[in-house]
Structure 1
Amino acid sequence: MDNRSLLVANWLTKAQHDLTVAKRLKNDNSPLLDVAIYHCQQAAEKAVKGFLVLHDQWFPKTHDIRLLLQLAIAITPDFSKHEDSADLLTPYATEFRYPGDMMDPTIEETEEATIISKQFVDFVISLLPDEIRNELKKREIPL
């Protein structure tokens, strides 16, 4: 595996780890929904960044999934199907991370974010070359 493919696999591994953490925090006996929903956003963000790395596409340092998605759409138009997901997930990078008007998302919001984030990560993985997908399978961790 060349260096770029390895870097892409590392981005997607981090995305999968974020998704795993989100699920664990959401399903715990004492759920931490604010942290779980943050990791849903992070999973989607890291997945699209991994895709952009694969295609040698520069991206700014940002948590704005919609902005990253626009770069990905220029490469693969099918990313446009995930614009609503990007709009839903992007605010979770900061919305519940710091004290403010709302301390915690609802369980329903967190469940929706978890489902959408998983769909997003799975979509990105489906676009990767077999070599990278096989590497990700070797790295899988149980929920």
Structure 2
Amino acid sequence: MSAEKNISEARRWLKTAEDDLEAALVLFENSKFPYACFLAQQAGEKALKAVWYAADADPWCHSVLKLVNDLEEIDLKLYARLRPLKKSAGLLDKFYIPTRYPNGLPDLTPAEVYNVEDAASGLDAARKIISASRELTEEAG
């Protein structure tokens, strides 16, 4: 991809991350906490993929933490800027599978496990990652 095309792609991913966060907030406000957690994870993942595209790289995973860690091999400056968000990234990774599938939890459903505190912390983590990703994407373009 050309640099211009990558910035355009980065902006598309960032916009989608922001839309996912907005949807997560609606779910949170309606006490649908597992789904708010999952969409927070999706928002963080997509925001970091925007950074990867802005760095002219192709992201191919769903782990938010791996997307941060693997930047060390792509761009040390980007990695240094995102490294403080590793805890937030790790938190979001915990919401990828078990918030959606009952077989990811022993004898429980996601609605029985994920609560307002989980969703609030997930939304906070996603906001931090989106904010940093927006800043880095804007600097690249």
Q: Same fold (TM over 0.5)?
A: yes
CA drift of 1:59 comes to 2.5
TM-score (norm 2): 0.83
In the alignment, structure 1 residue 91 sits paired with structure 2 residue 94: yes
RMSD, aligned CA: 1.8
Q: Which moved more, 1:44-53 or 1:1-10?
A: 1-10
The equivalent of 2:59 in structure 1 is: 59
| Alpha-carbon distance in structure 2 between the residues aligned to 1:128 and 1:90 | 22
Normalized against structure 1, the TM-score is what?
0.82
Does 1:103 find its partner at 2:110?
Answer: yes
Amino acid corresponding to residue 65 of structure 2 in structure 1: R
Q: In percent, how many aligned pairs have the same letter?
A: 21
Instruction: State the match for 2:71 in structure 1.
Output: 72
Q: Which residue of 1 aligns with 2:8?
A: 6
Which is worse superposed, 69-78 or 16-25? 69-78
Stretches of structure 1 lacking an aligned partner (at least 5 in a row): 133-143
Structure 1 contact 48–72 (Cα < 8 Å) conserved:
no
Kindly indicate whether the alpha-carbon contact (under 8 Å) linking 1:51 and 1:72 is maintained by their aligned counterparts in 2: no
Q: Distance in 2 between matches of 1:79 and 1:131?
A: 15
Contact 1:40 1:113 in 2 (8 A): yes
Q: Map 1:39-58 to 2 at 5 A.
A: 39-58=39-58
Give CA-to-partner distance per residue, 1:47-97, whole Å, 9 cap, x none. Answer: 11110011112332x211111111224421121101111111112111110
Alignment of 1:116-127 (within 5 A): 116-127=125-136
| Structure 2 unpaired stretches of 5+ | none
Say if 1:73 and 1:80, in contact at 8 Å, map to a contact too: no
1:48 partner letter = L
Which SS does the other structure have where 2:85 is aligned?
A: helix
| Other structure's SS at 1:37 match | helix
**Equivalent position of 1:82 in the other structure:** 85
Q: Is the 8 A contact 2:13 2:46 kept in 1?
A: yes
